[in-house]
Structure 1
Amino acid sequence: MVCRAQELLISQGVLEGRAGSGTYVAEPRQRVRVVRSSAREQPNGSPFCADMKAVGRQGDWESRTDAKVPAPAEIAARLGIAEGDLCVRTAYEFLADGRPVQLSTSWEPYDLTAGTLVVLPEGGPHAGAGVVNRMATIDITVSHAVEQPEPQQATAEGASLLGVQKAALVTHIRRTYYSDEGRPVETADIVASAAHCEIVYEIPINR
């Protein structure tokens, strides 16, 4: 009973878990609004940082990239490649005012960017520019993205990184970017704490 009550309070943002330390009363913390929209792509800089600036927050991120990682079956299916084909995998931790609000694991087919200046998403002259802008530098036009959001429970690793209880409610978004030729050029799993992050979709209307 006590554990369930603690988990509920963490999911509501009243308490917060700290990896290797324990559970504490959370400092007052408003949910961060993140707008998902095709209009969020910026000519320069990070879309996430632009989102944070729009709500008066300081956006930043940490990342780790592993090149030439064999694609697992699910990722291969999403990218339209064979299982085991090499990919560039980048894990992100997105921060608002220095506190984690969103995680993402991105996969790009290695043969798409191999030998170019954008093979590493967070390295080279176009580091941090986002998928759309990076692909444009190698003459690949990203025409659209497909996103599938769904509620899930946080994994042990995700909960530790986000500072929430294991199995706390999170929003999981499965996103894939496509070129104008219909080829998947990147796919990602995005995870945001429901207690700390509000996901909003903006739908542009063409007139």
Structure 2
Amino acid sequence: MAFGEQPAYLRVASDLRRKIVEGSLPPHARLPSQARIRAEYGVSDTVALEARKVLMAEGLVEGRSGSGTYVRALPEPRRIARSGYGLGGGATPFRQEQADEAARGTWESRSEQERAGAAVAERLGIEPGEPVMCTAYVFREAGEPMMLSTSWEPLGLTGRSPVMLPEEGPLGGCGVVERMAAIDVVVDNVVEEVGARPGLADELAALGGVPGHVVMVVRRTYYASGRAVETADVVVPADRYRLAYHLPVR
């Protein structure tokens, strides 16, 4: 193979991908069989199989047991707001947006006390093993799982206070800024780092994805005078949603 030349399986995958994008292989159409790919492109069975694996890993096609491989109907990505932090209104930006009748957003959560692992402790600026409140969320839109979130708050800050449990008490369900203000902690900064990676098996099972699907991960941390008061990982299917940031110009 000459320098810069693609392997055969990638060339085949690229041409099939083009046909999918252009519509000559429309949603729900059956992908050409391995024998047909072999004959049409003049490649081996191994190359044909690897090309199909590439398209499956990209989420463009899906296998159906005993039937074959078909082009997936890709959804139009929907918007998830990542803006509007501050006092007033109580609800987080996501909950404000999903409260719209057309969105039909719902969520469920579970909170448990645990000991901070090394990674969470570093993000919160505490010692490993210190107690934290861990809250896991599943957010849904019209009944469909759309986003997962796991947050950690240091119990050294919120323990034995009215906001110890994020979803219970007088401020249950309010945003971090509102809840912390109730215990005289003024949140003045939030940092979000956005990345992408293949979804973990349990994440994809919860979100209705298939192995190999990519997820966006937002690593968010709230600060009050330089002290981290909450950190969270937000996981979103990359093929179904896009993150929309609306940032004020100061």
Distance 1:56 1:31, change over 3 A: farther
Larger radius of gyration: 2
- Quote the residue 1:133 is aligned against: 178
Letter in 2 for 1:145: V
Q: Deviations over 1:54-103 (max 9, x none)?
A: 69412211111102x11010110110000111000001111111111111
Distance 1:87 1:105, change over 3 A: same
Segments of structure 2 that go 5 or more residues without pairing to the other structure are 1-48
1:44 aligns with 2:86: no
Segments of structure 1 that go 5 or more residues without pairing to the other structure are 18-22
Say which structure is richer in strand.
1
Counterpart Cα distance in 2 of 1:32 and 1:158? 19
- Quote the residue 1:20 is aligned against: none
Letter in 2 for 1:47: P
SS of the residue 1:142 aligns to: coil
The aligned runs of 1:73-84 (5 Å cut-off) are 73-84=118-129
Q: Deviations over 1:31-74 (max 9, x none)?
A: 2201212457752224212123469412211111102x110101
Task: Report if the CA contact (8 A) 1:109-1:186 is conserved.
Answer: yes
Match of 1:35 among 78, 81, 84: 81
Counterpart Cα distance in 1 of 2:236 and 2:155? 27
Task: Report if the CA contact (8 A) 1:16-1:165 is conserved.
Answer: no
Q: Deviations over 1:128-167 (max 9, x none)?
A: 1011111111111111100110111100000001100123
SS of the residue 1:112 aligns to: helix
Letter in 1 for 2:193: Q
Task: Report if the CA contact (8 A) 1:49-1:58 is conserved.
Answer: no
Task: Report if the CA contact (8 A) 2:76-2:240 is conserved.
Answer: yes
- Quote the residue 1:93 is aligned against: 138
- Once the two structures are TM-superposed, the CA of residue 125 in structure 1 deviates from its matched residue by 1.7
Counterpart Cα distance in 1 of 2:232 and 2:86? 17
- Quote the residue 2:245 is aligned against: 201
SS of the residue 1:160 aligns to: helix
- Quote the residue 2:3 is aligned against: none
Aligned-residue RMSD, C-alpha: 2.7
- Quote the residue 2:35 is aligned against: none
Task: Report if the CA contact (8 A) 1:107-1:187 is conserved.
Answer: yes
Identity %: 38
Task: Report if the CA contact (8 A) 1:118-1:134 is conserved.
Answer: yes
Counterpart Cα distance in 2 of 1:203 and 1:16? 41
Say which structure is richer in helix.
2
Distance 1:62 1:16, change over 3 A: farther
- Quote the residue 1:187 is aligned against: 231
TM-score (norm 1): 0.84
Q: Which 10-residue stretch deviates more, 33-42 or 157-166?
A: 33-42
Counterpart Cα distance in 2 of 1:16 and 1:118? 47
Distance 1:135 1:50, change over 3 A: same
